[in-house]
Amino acid sequence: MADRVAIWLLNDLRLHDHPALQAALKAQPQRIEFVYIWGPPVISWGKYSYIPDFPGVERRISLARERFVLESLLDLARRVPLTILHGEPDEALPAWAAAQGISAIYAHKEWAVEEQAYQQAVEAALRQHNIPLLLYEGNALYESAQLPFPIEALPLLFTRFRQLVERTVQVKAPLPEPSLPSQPPNSETIKWIEERLAQLPPLHEKSFPFQGGEKAGQQWVKKYFTHGVFTYKETRNSFYGETFSSHFSPWLAVGCLSPRWVYAQLREAEKAVRANDSTYWLFFELLWREYFRWLGARWGRRFFAAGGLRKLNLPWRRDETLFRAWVEGQTGYPIVDAAMRELKTTGWTSNRARQIVASFFTKNLFLDWRWGAAYFETQLIDYDVYSNWGNWLYQAGVGTDGRGFRWFDPVRQAKLYDTDGSYIRLWIPELRSLSAPRVYMPEPPLRRSLSYPMPVVDWQQSLAYAKDTYWRAVKGEPKGNQLLKLFQDE
Ligand SMILES: Cc1cc2nc3c(=O)[nH]c(=O)nc-3n(C[C@H](O)[C@H](O)[C@H](O)COP(=O)(O)OP(=O)(O)OC[C@H]3O[C@@H](n4cnc5c(N)ncnc54)[C@H](O)[C@@H]3O)c2cc1C
C-alpha cells in the first residue's frame, strides 16, 4: 500500500474517465494529491518550448483561456486537494514531490514534441528522488493499442483513418468518477485561484457563455444533446448562435470532458431521442480531433515545420504589415475581419470562420503558416496542440489534404453561411449600416466614407500567385481526381 501519491494534471482537468487517477487508486494510497503547474507547457513558454518568432508575442495564452483554465482548476480544487506549483515542471515538480514524501506520480501521456520533452525531463528529474512517473493514455477516443495500425503507419488521409477505425474499433466505455478518500481541499489554492480570477476581465458580452470546469462542461453536453445535436449537420457551418455547433471544444481541450464520455452521452441521446445524420456527424468531427492527435504523435517535429509533413519548400512571406492587418481584422475582406475580431475579442470563432481566415492567410497573404498557427495558439480558448497545428498544416497545403491546394472564396463563403450579413455587422461596426449583399464586399467609395479599409491584396491575383507557386513546389498539379502523391520521400 502506497502512502501518498500525486496526480500531475495537464490537459485532463476532471475526475471522470481519468485512467491515471484510476491507476493511482489501485495502489490504495492513504492520500492522493493533485498538482498543476502554472507554467509551461500550457500557461507560458519554457526551456523545451517551441517559441515562434512571430511579431508581437507576449503571452502564451489569452485572457479568455486563462479564465477558463482557472475556472476548471477551481472546480477541482473545491473537490480534491489541489496544489499549484510555479516554474519549470522538471524543477518544480520533483522538488515538491520529494518534500511531500510522494511515492509515485501518475499522469496522462502526451504525444506532441514539447509536452513529451517536459514529461521526459520530469521523469528523469524524479528518478533522482526514486519517484516513478507513471504515464497512462487518456484524452482520446481510442487507446494506441486499439488502433488497427501502428502509429508509424497512421493513414495519410483522414478518410482512410476513419474507415479503418469505424470498421474495426469500438470506443471503450468511459471510466466512472471514483469515490476518493475523504480529504480536505487546499484552501490556499482556492484563494489563489479566486484572487487571480477576480483580476481577469469578465467574459465578453458577445461570447458564448463558456464556463470552465468538469461540472459546467457536463451540464452543457447534456443540454446540447437534448436539442441542438439533432440539427448539427445542417447548422454546423454557421458563424454564430448558441447551438449551431456544440461548443464542446474548450472543455475537451483542457480535459474537463473526456471524449469517451461525450461519445457515451451521444449514444445515450441517440437511444433516448433519435439517431440521425447530425448525431453521426458530431462523432465524425470527434474523429477529426482524434486523427490530428495521432498525426501529431506520428510526425513529431515535422508537425511544426515550415514545409510540414510534405517537406515542401515554399517561399512563405514574413510581412509584418500584412500579418498585423490579419490579426486586427483590417484586411478589407469583411468575413475575414469579422472572424479575426471575434477571435481576438472572445478567444473563439467557428470552424468555418477558422477555415476561411487560415485559407486567406496561406493562399492570399501567403504568410508563413506557422505565424498563423502560433497566433491562434495565443488566442484560442480551446487551443489544442494537435487540432490547431494539424488544421493549420491542412489549410496550408503541407499536411494531409489529399487535394493539396484548397482555398476558400471569402465573399462566396459569406454569402453562403452569413446569409443576411448579420455576423459581419455584429463584428464590424463600420459596416453596420450595410445590408446583404453589399456588406460582403463594399465598393471603394463606400469603404472610404465608412472608414473601412481597402482590400490588402487582390483576391484573384494573390490566389493565382499562391497556386502557381504551390504547384511548382509540388512539381505538378495532379490530373482529374487523382490524389496528390502526399509524401514524396516515403
Ligand atoms: C485553422 C484551424 C485551427 C483550429 N484550432 C483548433 C484548436 O486549437 N482546438 C480545437 O479544439 N479545435 C481547433 N480547430 C477545429 C475546429 O475549428 C474546432 O474544434 C471547432 O470549431 C470547435 O467548435 P465546436 O466545439 O462547436 O465544434 P463542433 O463542430 O461542435 O465539433 C465537435 C467537436 O469535434 C472536434 N472538432 C470539430 N471540428 C474539428 C476539426 N476540424 N479538427 C479537430 N477537431 C474538430 C472538436 O473537439 C469539437 O469540439 C481548428 C480548426 C481550424 C480550421
Q: What pLDDT, in 10s, does the model give residues 428-484?
A: 999 999 999 999 999 999 999 999 999 999 999 999 999 999 999 987 666 655 555
Alpha helices in 369-451 (DSSP H): 369-379, 385-396, 410-417, 422-427, 444-450
What's the whole-model pTM score?
0.97
- Give residue-wise pLDDT tens across range 86-110: 999 999 999 999 999 999 999 999 9
- Give residue-wise pLDDT tens across range 394-403: 999 999 988 8
CATH of 305-474, one of 1.10.579.10, 3.40.50.2000, 3.40.50.720, 3.30.830.10: 1.10.579.10
Backbone angles phi, psi at 38, to 5 degrees: -80, 75
Question: Quick one: pLDDT at residue 58?
Answer: 83
Domain locations in the chain? Answer: 4-139, 140-172+213-298, 305-474
Q: Does the 4-139 domain belong in CATH 3.40.50.620? A: yes
The pLDDT-based confidence of 489 (bands split at 50, 70, 90) is very low
Pairing of strands 104-108, 31-38: unpaired
8 pLDDT higher than 90 = yes
- Give residue-wise pLDDT tens across range 159-168: 999 999 999 9
Question: Quick one: pLDDT at residue 480?
Answer: 57
Average pLDDT, rounded, for the chain:
95
Q: Would you say the CB of residue 72 lies under 6 angstroms from ligand 1?
A: no
Measured distance CA(229)–CA(387) in Å, rounded: 21
41 preceded by a cis bond (ω within 30 of 0)? yes
Question: Quick one: pLDDT at residue 181?
Answer: 84
Give the mutation target among 350, 352, 382, 413 for probing the ligand 1 site: most ligand atoms within 8 A of CB. Answer: 382
Question: Quick one: pLDDT at residue 1?
Answer: 58
Looking at the DSSP assignment, which residues form a beta bridge with residue 86?
A: 38
Question: Quick one: pLDDT at residue 444?
Answer: 97
Measured distance CA(110)–CA(118) in Å, rounded: 10
The CA-atom distances, in angstroms, between 357 and each of 36, 196, 402, 436 are 34, 33, 20, 20
Spell out the residues 6+ positions from residue 179 whose beta carbon is closer than 8 angstroms to its own: none
Question: Quick one: pLDDT at residue 490?
Answer: 44
Q: Would you say the CB of residue 380 lies under 6 angstroms from ligand 1?
A: yes
Give the mutation target among 256, 289, 336, 380 for probing the ligand 1 site: most ligand atoms within 8 A of CB. Answer: 289
CATH of domain 140-172+213-298: 1.25.40.80
The pLDDT-based confidence of 207 (bands split at 50, 70, 90) is very high
Measured distance CA(224)–CA(222) in Å, rounded: 6
Question: Quick one: pLDDT at residue 57?
Answer: 79
Instruction: Supply the residue whose CA is at minimum distance from atom 21 of ligand 1.
Output: 351
Mean pLDDT of 142-152: 97
- Give residue-wise pLDDT tens across range 233-283: 999 999 999 999 999 999 999 999 999 999 999 999 999 999 999 999 999
Specify the ligand 1 atom closest to the Cα of 354. 53
